[in-house]
Structure 1
Amino acid sequence: MPCCSSDTCSSGVAATGRYRSVLWVVLGINAAMFLIEIVAGLAVGSAALQADALDFLADAANYGISLFVLGLGLRWRAGAALIKGASMGFFGLWVAGSALWHALHGTVPGWGTMGVVGSLALVANLACLALLYAWRDGDANMRSVWICSRNDSIANAAVLAATLGVFGTGTGWPDIAVATVMAALAIQGAVVIVRQALGEFRRDRRPDPVPVLR
């Protein structure tokens, strides 16, 4: 039987319900932006847009995982965070490889499409960030969701900077530089998430203290 007052329990259930609703909203936003950015990125040959599109797809999958484990025990939530951390690390390595490929082939993306789609993506991620702000200091699972959205907003601002760089220089190097930064952000975020999730696994395995009888 849970050791809490009815008010506390009701408050916790209400908070979980609000978080679940927020996750569904941000999942929908990320899925839609993946479709928009992957089409645009492939059409204009932008490594940054393609990387950001795959980031949206990874985030949508991560939000789905978060919805699945919401309300489950700490071990389940920490396990979900581990999966998300690993996927972020894989994404970072993939983006780094993609940036190298475009650098070797001298790709020059279309800056006009980059600017329009990058602006739309920034607005979408800022909306997600505002929705998730209240849960930024939660467990590893909640924190991983917050870190994903935070990194996405930073990456979108960088995509817009790359757009100006491509326009000004007539080369694809600004696009490649932004893709490299996005890779570094993904890897750094993965390290933070995995470290906290492993810590929660260790805490969950600790035996309950034996009461001292007097």
Structure 2
Amino acid sequence: MNQPAPDPALRPVVARVAGLNLAYFGIEVSVALAIGSLALIADSLDFLEDAAINLLIFAGIGWSVRNRARLGIVLAGILLLPALATAYAAWIKFATMAPPAPIPLTLTGLGALAVNLTCAMMLARHRSGGGSLTRAAYLSARNDAFANLAIIAAGLATALTLSAWPDLIAAAGIAVLNADSAGDILRAARAEWRAAEARPENEARS
């Protein structure tokens, strides 16, 4: 079964989404480092990852099915990087177990949610076309919105308990979410690769 080519109209959309993600990465990582929030560190890496993914999609639109499949496999690997980085940061966090400041944590989570919902709405009408590339963009925005809800909940729980555990739990959930998305995108990329292999060689190169 052939995978559809990404809609050329997706190109300016992913460019805008990349810009939004890169801008909020700078904001969120600054707050994360200032208040010592592992969840915000994990989420800021998500924003950087999403900016990279959307820039790669911008470059990949118009490529052959086979090349889109290769790029989809690369994107699946990119999605695993924040999960690995968060795991390392969590190991360091256990040495102090200091809770982050709850108000900046909650407000930054709310801002991140607004950005991700905006990106998800921009990408929503493209999510069913274009195989693994478009799926990567939509899954990243959608999953990050869920992660932001976890960050907001962690901020409220931290205010009530003055414990580091809500932040750690939210960070772990974000890492799992990224790993699951990587698996989904890898499966989609493999489907595109099989579609490319099933087509005549000259058509696959078109």
TM-score by length of 2: 0.90
For residues 134-163 of structure 1, the C-alpha deviation after alignment (integer angstroms, 9 at most, x for no partner) is 111221111111111111100011100000
Which amino acid letter does the alignment assign opposite residue 186 of structure 2? Answer: V
Instruction: Note if 1:175 corresponds to 2:162.
Output: no
Tell me the SS of whatever aligns to 1:91: helix
Aligned length: 196
Which residue matches 1:9?
A: none
Deviation at 1:30, TM superposition (A): 0.1
**Which residue among 66, 76, 87 is the counterpart of 1:85?**
76
Q: Which amino acid aligns with 2:16?
A: V
SS in 2 for 1:105: coil
Give 2:109's aligned residue. 118
Q: Could you say which residue in structure 2 is the equivalent of 1:8?
A: none
> What is the root-mean-square deviation of aligned Cα atoms in Å?
1.7
Counterpart of 1:140, as a letter, is S
Q: What is aligned with 2:141?
A: 149
Structure-2 residue corresponding to 1:212 = none
| More divergent stretch after superposition (138-147 vs 99-108) | 99-108
Structure possessing the higher relative contact order (Cα contacts under 8 Å, 6 or more residues apart): 2
Is the contact made by 1:93 and 1:187 (CA closer than 8 Å) also made in structure 2?
no
Aligned AA (1:102): K
**1:203 counterpart residue number:** 195
**Does the alignment pair 1:101 with 2:64?**
no
Would you say 1:162 and 2:154 are equivalent positions? yes
Aligned-partner residue type, residue 184 of structure 1: V
Offset at 1:96? 2.4
Counterpart contact for 2:68–2:192, Cα < 8 Å: no
- After alignment, is 98-107 or 29-38 more displaced? 98-107
Q: Which has the larger radius of gyration?
A: 1
Q: Would you say 1:184 and 2:176 are equivalent positions?
A: yes
CA distance in 2, matches of 1:154, 1:45: 21
Distance in structure 2 (CA, Å) of the matches to 1:183 and 1:205: 33
CA distance in 1, matches of 2:13, 2:38: 30
Q: Which amino acid aligns with 2:72?
A: A
Q: Which residue of 1 aligns with 2:32?
A: 41
By how many angstroms is 1:207 displaced?
Answer: 4.4
1:72–1:207 Cα change, 3 Å: closer
Report if aligned partners of 2:86, 2:175 keep a CA contact under 8 Å in 1: yes
Question: Runs (4+) of structure 1 moved beyond 6 Å?
Answer: none
Mapped to 2, the partners of 1:112 and 1:85 lie a distance apart of 34
Deviation at 1:193, TM superposition (A): 0.6
